[in-house]
C-alpha cells in the first residue's frame, strides 16, 4: 500500500456484524461514524450482513439474496449472507457470528482498494474476517473494543465451556497482537487491556457519543405521545436492548413499588429477555409498565423528548464498572435527567455532570425512591437535564469523536504491514 499522507482522504472499510437499518447502540454509533467520515472526505465502505438483529428475521427488501450492494448517503454498503437467528440462545448467535466472519470474504473483490480496515467487536469472531482480509489486502486494521469478549460472556454466565473459552481467548489475544491500533470505549476497558499486556501505545480511547444536532431539547409533540398511548403520564423511559446485561427485572420491581398513578414505566426495544419480562409483568399484575417494540431511529429524539426522565440500568457485575452506556448520552443530549442504576465509570459520570440520580445496580427499593423523589420535583429534574445537555455537548459530541477516529485511522494506514 502507499503511505497515507497527513490530512489525506482515506479509503476505509468497516467490518461489522451490526449496522443500520438495524436499531441499537452499535448500529447508531457505526452508522454515524461512517457518515461523518464520508462527509469529511473519506471513502467509506461497510461490509456487514443482511439486517436481522435482534429478531433474527431478515428485513424486507433483503431476503432471497446471497449478497448485495447499496448506498446510504455517501456510504457504500456491501451485505453478505448470514445465518440469521434471534438474539436468544448463545450457540445459535455464535453460529450467526461465525457465518458472517466467513461470508464477509465474498466482498473482497467488491471492496477494491482500501487503506485500512475498522473492525467492530463484539462479536469477537468478526476478527476472523479481519485477520484474513487485511492480510490479503496487505493493509492494517484497527480493532474497536466496545465490550471485552469473551470476558463479558463468561461473567454473564453465557459461556461456560472451557475449550470454547480457551479458543476464544486465543483469538482475542491474537487480534490484539495483529491490530495496528485497538480503540476502546472507556478508560476502564483501556486499563483492563493494558493490564493484560496490550501495549499502551497501541490503545486509543474513543468513547461513545451522540449527535447533539439530532438529539436536542425540543417541545414534546402530543401526536407521538397519543400514537403510542403515553399521553397524560410522567414517562420514565428505558430504550434499548432487553438482554442479560441490563437486568431489567429491577425496573419492574421498582414499578411494582410505585404508587403514583401519573408515573408510567415505558420499556422500548427487543432482546433475549423481553418475553420473560412481559410475562413477569403480567403474572405479578404490574400495571404501570408498558412495553413497546423497537422504534425507528428517526423517532427516538421525539420519544426521549416526551419522557420525564430515562432509566439506565446494568447488572451488578465488575465487568460493568467500565461501562458508559450510549443511551445515557442520548438522554443527556435532549436535556432529560437519568436514573442510573450503575456503578464505576457510568455512576461517576452522572455525579460529575450532576445530570441525574445514581442508585446501586439491582436495588429496586432505591430506584423506586429515586424515581418518586424526581417525579415530585420537576424543577430539580429540569435543572439536571440542562446540566446533562451542557456536559454531553462539551465532551461527547459525535463530530469530535469522528474527527479523532479519522486521525487514528490515518496513523494506522501510514504503518506498512
Tell whether 144 and 269 lie within a shared domain: no
Tell whether 255 and 365 lie within a shared domain: yes
Structural domain harbouring 249: 222-395
pLDDT tens digits along 343-379: 889 999 999 999 999 999 999 999 999 999 999 999 9
pLDDT exceeds 50 at position 233 = yes
Give Rg (Cα) of the chain. 21
**Confidence at residue 6, expressed as pLDDT on a 0 to 100 scale:** 44
Tell whether 199 and 230 lie within a shared domain: no
pLDDT tens digits along 197-224: 999 999 999 998 999 999 999 877 667 6
Query: Among the listed ranges 96-110, 159-173, 178-192, 393-407, which one has the minimum average pLDDT value?
Result: 159-173
**Confidence at residue 271, expressed as pLDDT on a 0 to 100 scale:** 85
Residue with cell 471513502: 43
Q: Give the pTM.
A: 0.81
| 330 within 8 A of 357, measured Cβ to Cβ | no
Tell whether 140 and 243 lie within a shared domain: no
As beta bridge partners, residue 359 has 341
Closest by CA position to 208, among listed 227, 183, 228:
183
What is each CA distance from 68 to 33, 126, 401, in whole angstroms? 22, 19, 30
Tell whether 57 and 171 lie within a shared domain: yes
Tell whether 177 and 78 lie within a shared domain: yes
Tell whether 137 and 182 lie within a shared domain: yes
Whether residue 192 is contained in a domain is answered as: yes
β-pair type (263-268, 289-292): parallel
**Confidence at residue 309, expressed as pLDDT on a 0 to 100 scale:** 97
**Confidence at residue 88, expressed as pLDDT on a 0 to 100 scale:** 63
Whether residue 6 is contained in a domain is answered as: no
Tell whether 255 and 272 lie within a shared domain: yes
pLDDT exceeds 50 at position 87 = yes
Q: What is the CATH number of the domain that holds 190?
A: 3.40.50.2000
**Confidence at residue 188, expressed as pLDDT on a 0 to 100 scale:** 87
Residue with cell 447533539: 212
What is each CA distance from 146 to 30, 67, 149, 278, in whole angstroms? 11, 27, 9, 29
* Assigned C-alpha cell, 87: 438474539
Exposure string over 53-83, b if 16+ CB within 10 A, otherwise e: bbbbebeeebeeeebeeeebeebbbbbbbbb
| Structure-model confidence comparison of residues 98 and 70, the more confident one | 70
Report the sign of the C-alpha dihedral through residues 351, 357, 362, 365, in that order: positive
According to the per-residue pLDDT averaged within each range, which of 78-92, 309-323, 387-401 is highest? 387-401
**Confidence at residue 7, expressed as pLDDT on a 0 to 100 scale:** 54
Tell whether 120 and 203 lie within a shared domain: yes
**Confidence at residue 164, expressed as pLDDT on a 0 to 100 scale:** 79
Whether residue 215 is contained in a domain is answered as: no
| Structure-model confidence comparison of residues 309 and 187, the more confident one | 309
pLDDT exceeds 60 at position 300 = yes
Whether residue 2 is contained in a domain is answered as: no
Q: How many CA atoms lie within 13 A of 400 on its CB side?
A: 13
Closest by CA position to 355, among listed 391, 313, 307, 327:
391
Please return the burial class of 155, using the count of CB atoms within 10 Å of its CB with bins 0-12, 13-18 and 19+: middle
**DSSP per position, 144-202:** EESS-TTHHHHHTTS---HHHHHHHHHHHHHHHHH-SEEEESSHHHHHHHHHTT--TTT
- Number of structural domains in the chain: 2
pLDDT tens digits along 51-60: 988 788 899 8
**Confidence at residue 222, expressed as pLDDT on a 0 to 100 scale:** 66
pLDDT tens digits along 6-49: 457 899 999 999 999 998 888 989 999 999 999 999 999 999 99
**Confidence at residue 201, expressed as pLDDT on a 0 to 100 scale:** 92
For the chain, what is the total number of helices (H) and then of strands (E)? 16, 14
Tell whether 186 and 275 lie within a shared domain: no
**Confidence at residue 89, expressed as pLDDT on a 0 to 100 scale:** 62
Tell whether 32 and 153 lie within a shared domain: yes
β-pair type (67-72, 75-80): antiparallel
Rounded Cα distance between 315 and 370, Å, is 18
Whether residue 281 is contained in a domain is answered as: yes
| 289 within 8 A of 277, measured Cβ to Cβ | no
Whether residue 217 is contained in a domain is answered as: no
3-state secondary structure of 20: coil
Average pLDDT over the chain, rounded to an integer: 89
pLDDT exceeds 90 at position 320 = no
| 182 within 8 A of 176, measured Cβ to Cβ | yes
Whether residue 170 is contained in a domain is answered as: yes
Whether residue 189 is contained in a domain is answered as: yes
Tell whether 120 and 226 lie within a shared domain: no
Amino acid at each position: 500500500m502507499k503511505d497515507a499522507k497527513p490530512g489525506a482522504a482515506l479509503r476505509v472499510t468497516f467490518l461489522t456484524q451490526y449496522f443500520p437499518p438495524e436499531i441499537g447502540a452499535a448500529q447508531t454509533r457505526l452508522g454515524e461514524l461512517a457518515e461523518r467520515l464520508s462527509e469529511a472526505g473519506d471513502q467509506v465502505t461497510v461490509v456487514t450482513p443482511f439486517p436481522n438483529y435482534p429478531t433474527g428475521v431478515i428485513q424486507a427488501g433483503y431476503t432471497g439474496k446471497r449478497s448485495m450492494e447499496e448506498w446510504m448517503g455517501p456510504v457504500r454498503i456491501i451485505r453478505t449472507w448470514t445465518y440469521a437467528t434471534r438474539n436468544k440462545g448463545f450457540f445459535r448467535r455464535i453460529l450467526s457470528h461465525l457465518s458472517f466472519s466467513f461470508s464477509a470474504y465474498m466482498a473482497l473483490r467488491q471492496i477494491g482498494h482500501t487503506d485500512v480496515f475498522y473492525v467492530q467487536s463484539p462479536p469477537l469472531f468478526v476478527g476472523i474476517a479481519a485477520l484474513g482480509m487485511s492480510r490479503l489486502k496487505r493493509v492494517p486494521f484497527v480493532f474497536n473494543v466496545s465490550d471485552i469478549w469473551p470476558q463479558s460472556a463468561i461473567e454473564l454466565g453465557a459461556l461456560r465451556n472451557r475449550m470454547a473459552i480457551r479458543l476464544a481467548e486465543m483469538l482475542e489475544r491474537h487480534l490484539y497482537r495483529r491490530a495496528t491500533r485497538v480503540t476502546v470505549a472507556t478508560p476502564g476497558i483501556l486499563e483492563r487491556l493494558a493490564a493484560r499486556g496490550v501495549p499502551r501505545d497501541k490503545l486509543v480511547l474513543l468513547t461513545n457519543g451522540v449527535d447533539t444536532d439530532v438529539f436536542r431539547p425540543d417541545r414534546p409533540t402530543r401526536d407521538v405521545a397519543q400514537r403510542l398511548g403515553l399521553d397524560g403520564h410522567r414517562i420514565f423511559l428505558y430504550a434499548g436492548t432487553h438482554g442479560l446485561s441490563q437486568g431489567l427485572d429491577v425496573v419492574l420491581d421498582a414499578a411494582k413499588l410505585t404508587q403514583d398513578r401519573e408515573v408510567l414505566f415505558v420499556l422500548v426495544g427487543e432482546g433475549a429477555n423481553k418475553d420473560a419480562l412481559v410475562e413477569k409483568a403480567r403474572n405479578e399484575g404490574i400495571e404501570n409498565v408498558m412495553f413497546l417494540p423497537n422504534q425507528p431511529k428517526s423517532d427516538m429524539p421525539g420519544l426521549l423528548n416526551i419522557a420525564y426522565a430515562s432509566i439506565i440500568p446494568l447488572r451488578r457485575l465488575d465487568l460493568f464498572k467500565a461501562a458508559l452506556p450510549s443511551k445515557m448520552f442520548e438522554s443527556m443530549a435532549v436535556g432529560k435527567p437519568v436514573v442510573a442504576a450503575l456503578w464505576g465509570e457510568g455512576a461517576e459520570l452522572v455525579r460529575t455532570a450532576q445530570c441525574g440520580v445514581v442508585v446501586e445496580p439491582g436495588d429496586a427499593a432505591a430506584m423506586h425512591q429515586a424515581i418518586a423523589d424526581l417525579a415530585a420535583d420537576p424543577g430539580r429534574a429540569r435543572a439536571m437535564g440542562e446540566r446533562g445537555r451542557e456536559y454531553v455537548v462539551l465532551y461527547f459530541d459525535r463530530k469530535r469523536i469522528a474527527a479523532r477516529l479519522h486521525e487514528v485511522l490515518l496513523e494506522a494506514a501510514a504503518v506498512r504491514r
